[in-house]
Amino acid sequence: MVRLSIIVPTKDERTAPDVIGELYKVFGKDTEVIVVDKSNDTFRKELEKTDARIIRQESDGYENALMEGFREARGDVIATIDADGTYSVRDLEKVIAALSDGDADFVSGNRFGHLKEGAMSASLKIGNGFLTWLYNVMYRRKLHDALSGVFAMKRKAFESIKEELPYRAGTIFFEIEIARRGWRLKDIPITYAPRMGSSSKIARVKPIYGLAMAFHSVRYARDYNPLLIFGGIGIILVIAGLVLGAFVIGNYLATGTLSEIGRALIAFMLMVLGFLSIMTGFILDLLLEISRDMHRKR
Ligand SMILES: Nc1nc2c(ncn2[C@@H]2O[C@H](COP(=O)(O)OP(=O)(O)O)[C@@H](O)[C@H]2O)c(=O)[nH]1
Ligand SMILES: [Mg+2]
């Protein structure tokens, strides 16, 4: 019986064979290590010298790479670690151990726990912080780092998202899908070291990748947390309507004539739309709650 499967996504990483060697050293020879490889021939040859099973990735991107590896995994626990040498295998061991605490079905490593000097630029820190905050608000979670390259989950949690088609949201793709199905997520502090030798492979332009992540976080929360989305939009519309309305009334009181019919109509419309949006949020929230309840009872 395979108890643990570790998926290693790699794209031209010089450090990959060392990471794989370390995995066998820490977890033992019987561990299932699956490398999902998008490298050129030079790097491929080095990978083939290791004991890991290598899957050649035909699709693109980190998310597809992990999904392909996870689908092949046979372990009761399914985990991943990046091949770029920025994470420690000992930390992956801690993350996997934390799965047995009984309070989470998905555990990731929080890189802000022990962030080494030069491991993350100031702008990436801000970007990661914002995306983690957004994720937490949308999915009502309490992660400290939503974009870790080290995480582990129970097989039953993965089975529930197995058929999902990955979208470009990095680790957040997995965290969104896991959260939407009601599993418990947490993270524990780990060490994150600077990348040595080569630059990031995950996206051509990281700010655009970040925007895609933010978009997906909100997009999928619409089905998960409609009250927050529709309620938030509704409140903004109502406030805009009230401000415009106050302006029209102020003018009327000052001049004694109602000269701004157009503005008054727009203010009224904004408030009605806002009110409808809030009501939509409540109704969708209620329907979602009912459907979750039925799901639970089945
Ligand atoms: N198979 C595969 N691996 C990838 C791809 N993009 C990135 N990786 C690997 O995924 C891990 C994380 O990527 P990295 O460039 O370090 O992202 P960063 O840490 O966010 O800068 C590394 O081991 C990369 O080699 C891809 O398209 N396919
Ligand atoms: Mg990296």
Location of structure tokens 């957040």? 172
Write out pLDDT tens, residues 259-278: 789 999 999 999 999 999 99
Give per-10-residue mean pLDDT for the chain (298 aa). Answer: 90 97 96 98 97 97 98 98 98 97 97 97 97 96 98 97 96 97 96 94 95 95 91 97 94 88 94 97 92 74
Q: Give CA–CA dist 169/176, Å, rounded.
A: 9
What pLDDT, on the 0 to 100 scale, is given for residue 21? 98
Q: Give CA–CA dist 168/147, Å, rounded.
A: 12
Query: Ligand 1 pocket, 202 CB below 6 A?
Result: yes
Query: Ligand 1 pocket, 198 CB below 6 A?
Result: no
Q: Give CA–CA dist 90/199, Å, rounded.
A: 24
Q: Which of 34, 70, 84, 86 to mutate to test the pocket of ligand 1 (most atoms within 8 A of CB)?
A: 84
- Give yes or no for a contact between 227 and 116, defined as CB atoms under 8 angstroms apart: no
Q: Is 109 left (phi over 0), alpha (psi -120 to 50) or beta?
A: beta
Ligand 1 atom index nearest CA of 13: 25
3 CA distance to ligand 2 middle (Å): 26
Instruction: Give the start-end residues of each E strand in the chain.
Output: 4-10, 32-37, 53-56, 77-80, 106-115, 151-154, 185-192
Write out pLDDT tens, residues 105-160: 999 999 999 999 999 999 999 999 999 999 999 999 999 999 999 999 999 999 99
The count of other CB atoms within 10 Å of the CB of residue 151 is 24
Ligand 1 atom index nearest CA of 60: 27
> Radius of gyration over alpha carbons of the chain, in Å?
24
Q: Give CA–CA dist 247/258, Å, rounded.
A: 12
Whole-prediction pTM: 0.88
- Give yes or no for a contact between 194 and 94, defined as CB atoms under 8 angstroms apart: no
Query: Ligand 1 pocket, 83 CB below 6 A?
Result: yes
CATH number of 4-221: 3.90.550.10
> Which residues are within 8 A (CB) of 267 and not within 5 positions of it... i.e. 6 or more apart?
241, 242, 244, 245, 247, 248
Protein residue with its CA nearest to atom 21 in ligand 1 = 200
Q: Which amino acid does the sequence have at 90?
A: R
Ligand 1 atom index nearest CA of 200: 15
